[in-house]
Structure 1
Amino acid sequence: MIGLISNNDESAYTEEVQHLTAWCANNDLALNTKKTKELIVDYRKSNDGTHTPIRINGTEVERVTSFKFLGVHISEDLSWTLNTSTLTKNIHQRLFFLKRLKKIHQSPQILVNFYRCTIESILTNCVTVWYGNCSVSEQKALQRVVKTAQRITGSSLSSIEALQSKRCLRKARNIVKDCSNPNHRLFTLLPSRRHYRSLCTRTSRFRGSFFPASVTLLDSTPRCTYCTSTDLCSIYILLLIQYL
């Protein structure tokens, strides 16, 4: 659950928690307060750190500086150092098994399949969310893992940056096609219908996030003037060839 504290007014945030507690009670669900955590993201220069603790059914919720959500470690400063270090540690453990398969002379195809199933799948988990705001050193550390796996398998493997760009493009195109998507309005074409309108960003953190980065990727991808999707343009060309 996400709440906003504006002008030091925590009433809206507290009401959201109360609504959640009431909804759970009305639907015969019990909230485990011991497993509930509170994380506050605050970049104000005048931040005094005095926030009223949240209480659920009389029990105070523990405030943390980071927590793991759907396999991704989220920190209060929205940096991804903890997430990337945890990923690197977990992947190095799996590289051991990849080396063992290499020692028993498994085929390169089996080694690549093992890499994609047990290493790349973890390495690219929610990569569209966190990779764009990783530091250069963190990106290099993750890419070194790919290079190590590449030496073991003896095959060419896609870089993390290439995988992230591919997934961002695929997700962005799905949003563009789906008019019912709440984020569809963020992808608007300019009057020339050649490029999308860039999102106004004031910080590098926002600039590296999914939506501004996806707009940049869409603009840098060759596309037809009269189509809102490269895939749609390809379909029209294919139909024209078949007709001729």
Structure 2
Amino acid sequence: MDSPSQGLTQSVHVGRNTSSTTTLSTGAPQGCVLSPLLFTLLTHDCTAKFSSNHIKFADDTTVVGLISNNDETYYREVAQLAKWCGANNLSLNVSKTKEVVMDFRRNSVDHRPLTIDSSTVERVSSTKFLGVHITENLTWTTNVTSLIKKGQQRLHFLLRLKRASLPPPILTTFYRGTIESVLTSCITIWYGNCSAADRKTLQRTVNTAAKIIGAPLPSILDIFLARCSSKAYSIMKVPTHPSHSLFQLLPS
């Protein structure tokens, strides 16, 4: 804990050229069991100063704010975050930072650009957050299309294994590990609100895999319901969970 990087050295190797060796004095090595804990301690005081929320997951930080009556609290929150990073020897990568504005009013207004250190943040209609595509109109077609594309690419390998005369149990294991895991990624978040057309397209990929394997596979809907139930029970078991108060067991 005193100095995880003490005595560690590094160099850069490009082609046949190797740079001189430098001794590390800060940071933590990649793969070190203490690295996540140390990063959590470092970012513990990175909290919202105004009415906005900070969502932190590993090294991804998201600022969520409500803009009403041209309130600039959201912009001040981003400025405070940039100030905190500067005070802690960190820098925000503006090129990787995106802004999504969700405005469902009939007469929407143009919001002024968001800037970080005099650099304008790109405003996009869709962004990828922890593997899930979130759009400005809160529809899930973009996310579903991305998942289906990945799943269909893997169907090719499933077909090749089938032609190699592998038995259905092995094919099913491959499907669950490489295709089903992709199609159902974060399914409790988006499946309940995606369109009927998107659900049919997802299920069509599962049906194709079932024909290749020659054995029935659980439907996307069944997986969604099972995971929602599992998530609900896990939340109810933890009284300190932020969503614990939303669940109440019915009398038997």
1:38-92 deviations in Å (ceiling 9; x for gaps): 00011111212x1011110010100000011122111100001111111111111
CA distance in 1, matches of 2:70, 2:246: 29
CA distance in 2, matches of 1:115, 1:173: 27
Question: Is 1:27 the equivalent of 2:88?
Answer: yes
Q: Which residue is equivalent to 1:103?
A: 163
SS of residue paired to 1:77: coil
Q: How do 1:73-152 and structure 2 match up within 5 A?
A: 73-152=133-212
SS of residue paired to 2:64: coil
Question: Is 1:45 the equivalent of 2:106?
Answer: yes
- Structure number with the bigger relative contact order (C-alpha 8 A, sep ≥ 6) is 1
Q: How do 1:1-244 and structure 2 match up within 5 A?
A: 1-9=63-71, 11-48=72-109, 50-188=110-248, 193-194=250-251, 225=252
1:191-226 deviations in Å (ceiling 9; x for gaps): xx43xxxxxxxxxxxxxxxxxxxxxxxxxxxxxx2x
More strand per residue: 2
Percent identity among equivalent residues?
A: 51
Amino acid at match of 1:84: V
1:138-166 deviations in Å (ceiling 9; x for gaps): 10000011111111111221111110111
More helix per residue: 1
How many residue pairs end up in the alignment?
190
TM-score, with length taken from structure 1: 0.75
Q: Which residue is equivalent to 1:237?
A: none
SS of residue paired to 1:19: helix
Structure 1 unaligned blocks of 5 or more: 195-224, 226-244
CA distance in 2, matches of 1:159, 1:66: 28
SS of residue paired to 1:88: helix
Report deviation, 1:8: 2.5
CA distance in 2, matches of 1:27, 1:15: 18
SS of residue paired to 1:101: helix
SS of residue paired to 1:168: helix
SS of residue paired to 1:164: helix
Q: After TM superposition, which residue ranges in structure 1, 4 or more long, deviate above 6 angstroms?
A: none
Report deviation, 1:188: 3.5
CA distance in 1, matches of 2:243, 2:80: 25
Amino acid at match of 1:139: R
CA distance in 1, matches of 2:193, 2:69: 28
Report deviation, 1:7: 2.4
